[in-house]
């Protein structure tokens, strides 16, 4: 058994949604354990910002590629590029998702189930599920093919195990049928990601590819005060998460420390889903 169970020295991790808030944190977790982080995102601005910040903070070289997870040929192209420019990808973190901020001060106003637009359904499922499917197909097949195995981590949510509490998003002076809600697609994508996790955990087990999910609870990012004070009453630990509090879980899930964990959903939500 290796001396440092959490070491990622010699391992390369591809992180979708690497230009976003948690994408940065996942990459920092990889780099801190001695691994190589490859940031992938459709948003070039976010990608560059995270890339530059992580290189500056860690003093370690970080890689980035612009990639739309919904475009199968682009995923194949970027995967081949990484293979030839950096080498084998040992870890895939399916983290990209559309993350509508219902809890922002102005909320969403077009997300109610009664008239939820089919275009938005397609868009959200394309990124959250189709994207995770394409990336797992392309990167996972390579991991399985050469006998070296690998790790796939799917980023779900506490809303992969509980329903959204729509009371949290209510706004004064709005009629009941105009109240903002967490969209249906968020629940469907996140529950679907758990299905994908179980499927993949058993699909390539003989080739040494493990697959687990991480279900983070809400991260505090300046959401409106009423929302936050109502939400924290539902969380046994009495607060929202800090953005960097999932780094330990990523280090665990990506390393030998979790080598007997497969098909699990690590729910890290301050206990919200237990109450
Ligand atoms: N922030 C939270 O409180 C929270 C809580 C639970 C779960 N999560 C989950 O964690 C993950 C990251 O969330 P976040 O808060 O960092 O969100 P974020 O919006 O900051 O990051 C998501 C990233 O995905 C990228 N993306 C969107 N469409 C894409 C596409 N087609 N191809 C490639 N990249 C694309 C976006 O550009 C963005 O950079 C998501 O899966 C989210 O559902 C977040």
Per-residue pLDDT, averaged over 24-41, amounts to 98
Q: Is 218 in the pocket of ligand 1 (CB under 6 A)?
A: yes
pLDDT tens, residue by residue, 230-262: 999 999 999 999 999 999 999 999 999 999 999
Give the pLDDT of residue 109: 59
Give the list of residues 6+ apart from residue 208 with CB closer than 8 angstroms, or none: 143, 144, 147, 148, 149, 150
- Dist. CA 147–CA 60, nearest whole Å: 29
Looking at per-residue confidence, does 104 or 100 come out higher? 100
Instruction: Give the model's confidence band at 163: pLDDT under 50 very low, under 70 low, under 90 confident, else very high.
Output: very high
pLDDT at 13 over 60: yes
Give the pLDDT of residue 1: 52
Tell me which of 22, 27, 40, 41 to substitute to probe ligand 1's pocket, judged by most ligand atoms within 8 Å of the beta carbon: 22
Give the pLDDT of residue 108: 58
Q: Is 138 in the pocket of ligand 1 (CB under 6 A)?
A: no
pLDDT tens, residue by residue, 166-187: 999 998 889 999 999 999 999 9
3-state helix, strand, coil in the chain (%, to 5): 50, 15, 40
Q: What is the mean pLDDT of the chain?
A: 95
Give the pLDDT of residue 105: 54
Instruction: Give the model's confidence band at 104: pLDDT under 50 very low, under 70 low, under 90 confident, else very high.
Output: low
- Dist. CA 235–CA 241, nearest whole Å: 10
Read off the tokens for 238.
Answer: 């009495």
Other CB atoms within a 10 A radius of the CB of residue 165 amount to: 13
Tell me which of 14, 20, 40, 265 to substitute to probe ligand 1's pocket, judged by most ligand atoms within 8 Å of the beta carbon: 20
Instruction: Give the model's confidence band at 101: pLDDT under 50 very low, under 70 low, under 90 confident, else very high.
Output: confident
Instruction: Give the model's confidence band at 99: pLDDT under 50 very low, under 70 low, under 90 confident, else very high.
Output: confident
pLDDT tens, residue by residue, 118-137: 999 999 999 999 999 999 99
Tell me which of 25, 40, 96 to substitute to probe ligand 1's pocket, judged by most ligand atoms within 8 Å of the beta carbon: 96
Q: Whose CA is nearest to atom 13 of ligand 1?
A: 22
What separation in angstroms does the CA of 25 have from each of 51, 144, 228, 242, 251? 11, 27, 22, 11, 11
């Amino acid at each position: 058994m290796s001396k440092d169970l959490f070491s990622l020295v010699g391992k390369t991790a591809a992180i979708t949604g690497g230009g976003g808030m948690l994408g940065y944190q996942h990459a920092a977790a990889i780099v801190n354990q001695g691994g190589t982080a490859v940031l992938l995102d459709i948003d070039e601005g976010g990608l560059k910002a995270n890339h530059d910040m992580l290189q500056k903070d860690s003093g370690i070289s970080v890689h980035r590629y612009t990639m739309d997870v919904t475009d199968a040929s682009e995923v194949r192209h970027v995967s081949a590029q990484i293979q030839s420019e950096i080498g084998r990808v040992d870890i895939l973190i399916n983290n990209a998702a559309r993350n509508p901020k219902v809890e922002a001060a102005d909320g969403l106003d077009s997300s109610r189930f009664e008239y939820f637009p089919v275009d938005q359904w397609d868009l959200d499922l394309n990124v959250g599920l189709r994207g995770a499917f394409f990336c797992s197909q392309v990167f996972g097949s390579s991991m399985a093919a050469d006998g070296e195995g690998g790790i796939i981590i799917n980023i779900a949510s506490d809303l992969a195990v509980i329903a959204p509490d729509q009371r949290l998003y209510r706004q004064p002076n709005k009629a009941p049928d105009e109240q903002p809600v967490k969209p249906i697609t968020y629940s469907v994508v996140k529950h679907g990601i758990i299905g994908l996790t179980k499927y993949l955990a058993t699909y390539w087990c003989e080739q040494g590819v493990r697959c687990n999910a991480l279900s983070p609870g809400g991260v505090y990012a300046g959401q409106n005060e009423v929302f936050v004070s109502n939400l924290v009453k539902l969380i046994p630990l009495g607060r929202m998460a800090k953005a960097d509090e999932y780094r330990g879980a990523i280090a665990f899930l990506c390393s030998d420390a979790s080598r007997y964990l497969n098909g699990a959903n690590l729910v890290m939500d301050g206990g919200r889903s237990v109450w």
